[in-house]
């Protein structure tokens, strides 16, 4: 009886130990979007947006002002002239990150609260519909994801979904 009891305890301990190893492998390999990242340095630099519009080039430039503020400038160039600009940034306010964007001609930025992030991705949402330009179908979700040497951005709303591929310029 003692031998059976010791054998059962040994099997139980080995079994529990294997489950812990499997759980740790899964958690290390699978990034969690629920953990909030505090470093978005992977955004830094100048990025060219791949576009199918002939004669137009689109760019984003990101700089880091402080550990709680990243600023960006998006611009579109056609025939050597800048025809469109937008300012944006990630700003940490009250211990929470926000994506703010101000389109050319708007007097105040639209703000998107970061709902999830990890070391190479973030998602920001604005469900309040409090955009300065109420005439447009404004997006309510912005997602940036870095994979290898590219960034993939998705801007979506109830009637729009825009996918962008950004390539870093050297």
Within 8 A by CB and 6+ apart from 144, the residues are: 43, 121, 122, 151, 152, 153
For the entire predicted model, the pTM comes to: 0.74
Within 8 A by CB and 6+ apart from 141, the residues are: 112, 123, 124, 125, 126, 154, 155, 156, 157
CATH number of 41-168: 2.40.128.20
Residues 24-36 have pLDDT tens digits of 333 333 344 445 6
Q: Which pLDDT value is given to residue 11? A: 40
Q: Which pLDDT value is given to residue 84? A: 93
Q: Which pLDDT value is given to residue 157? A: 87
Residues 81-119 have pLDDT tens digits of 999 999 999 999 999 999 999 988 888 898 999 999 999
Q: Which pLDDT value is given to residue 139? A: 83
Q: Which pLDDT value is given to residue 159? A: 84
Name the CA dihedral angle for 74, 77, 82, 83, rounded to a multiple of 10 degrees: -90
Within 8 A by CB and 6+ apart from 48, the residues are: 57, 58, 59, 166, 167, 169
Residues 119-166 have pLDDT tens digits of 999 999 987 655 555 555 678 899 999 999 999 999 998 888 999 999
Q: Which pLDDT value is given to residue 36? A: 62
């Amino acid at each position: 009886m003692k031998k059976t009891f010791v054998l059962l305890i040994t099997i139980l301990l080995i079994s529990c130990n294997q489950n812990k190893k499997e759980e740790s492998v899964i958690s290390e390999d699978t990034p969690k979007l629920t953990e909030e990242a505090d470093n978005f340095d992977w955004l830094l630099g100048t990025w060219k947006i791949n576009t199918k519009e002939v004669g137009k080039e689109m760019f984003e430039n990101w700089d880091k002002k402080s550990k709680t503020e990243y600023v960006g400038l998006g611009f579109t160039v056609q025939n050597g002239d800048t025809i469109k600009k937008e300012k944006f940034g990630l700003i940490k306010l009250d211990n929470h990150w926000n994506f703010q964007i101000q389109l050319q001609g708007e007097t105040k930025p639209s703000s998107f609260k970061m709902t999830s992030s990890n070391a190479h991705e973030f998602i920001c949402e604005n469900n309040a519909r409090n955009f300065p330009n109420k005439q447009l179908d404004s997006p309510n979700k912005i997602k940036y994801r870095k994979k290898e040497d590219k960034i993939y951005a998705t801007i979506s709303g109830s009637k729009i979904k825009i996918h962008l591929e950004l390539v870093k310029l050297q």
